Amino acid sequence: LAAVATALTKELSFYVINRKWFDLRLFDSGVLKQLLVIAIPLLPNFLIYWIFNSSDRLMISWLIGASFTGIYAVGAKIGSAAQLIYQAFAGGWQFFAFSTMNEENQVENNSKVFEYLGAVSFACATLVFALSHWLFQLLFTGAYVDAYICAPYLFLAPLMQMLFQVACNQFLVVKKTWPNMLILSVGAIMNVGMNWILIPVIGIEGASIATLTGYIVSDIICCYVLVRMKLMVISKRFVFISILMLGFILLWRFILMSSTLLSLTAAVIVICIILKCYWPDISGLFSGGKYETSKA
């Protein structure tokens, strides 16, 4: 009831504030046809996102038992902090995307947004990886402390989803939205397949890794296709920090996980390297934006 009341309040508030924009006399069937061409291929995305968000719990319950679903849910709650970031970003992103769609340097600007968000996501995620164990020991007791193992992956996953939304906006620019569905479907299939393999072996951690991997695979395919279409530019420095982030995750998982101090030290080093790579852009931001993006 609370959720329904909240939704109705939002809808009514939106209508009251924006009612002057709604008039049946302004209906244009020609515009509707153009919108449907763009929108219809995106409809299956709701089902695909449901697979990303729900298949983990269903398969955990099926493969290793319902009790582990509760532990996984606790880890997902901590990770959902990133989902709030994604939702806040999505609200403003659509306006930016549509308002800059016809700019001459749209490809370069969208690519920069993608890179900057990726760099910020990686920097934030390193801290979550480093502090996850300590945080769960502080907040929970018993078996729920074990959920720390999946929280960092589930924190990074929505941020990778955010990057996918930024990248696939380029398909909207050329009015071809069907690649979004196909690419996201590959990620969802990867998610389900890895769940099937990893959950019986490493439990709830396998489910969280599968979710993150599904989004990463979608990001990689999307970027590859867009680069080939000359709708996106990926710099060497972003490739470098992506490999650096992968190396940090592997180092944390197999060596540093048991030591918060060492994990935090490694996280700070990674953040410093990211800052170094993007320092020309950061300094340009504080100096009024008069800078040239490094080609490194």
Inter-axis angle of helices 178-202 and 44-63, nearest 10 = 10
Quote the CA–CA distance of 222 and 39 in Å, as a whole number. Answer: 19
H-helix or E-strand spanning residue 97: helix 66-99
Residue 212 near residue 157 (C-beta atoms within 8 A): yes
**Is pLDDT above 50 for 293?**
no
Please state the rounded mean pLDDT for residues 131-148. Answer: 90
Residues 6+ apart with CB under 8 A from 222: 164, 167, 168, 179, 183
The residue that leads in pLDDT, 274 or 53, is: 274
Quote the CA–CA distance of 201 and 44 in Å, as a whole number. Answer: 31
H-assigned helices in 203-259:
204-228, 236-251
Q: What is the pLDDT of residue 156?
A: 94
Share of the chain above pLDDT 70, in %: 96
Q: Considering the entire predicted model, what is its pTM?
A: 0.84
Q: What is the pLDDT of residue 63?
A: 92
Residue 144 near residue 129 (C-beta atoms within 8 A): no
Burial pattern 106-116, b for ≥16 Cβ within 10 A else e, equals bbeebbebbbb
Please state the rounded mean pLDDT for residues 201-216. Answer: 95
Give just the sign of the alpha carbon dihedral 238, 241, 246, 249: negative
Q: What is the pLDDT of residue 291?
A: 47
pLDDT band at 288 (very low <50, low <70, confident <90, very high): low
The mean predicted confidence, pLDDT, of the chain is 88
Residue 231 near residue 107 (C-beta atoms within 8 A): yes
Q: What is the pLDDT of residue 294?
A: 43
At residue 44, the 3 state secondary structure works out as helix
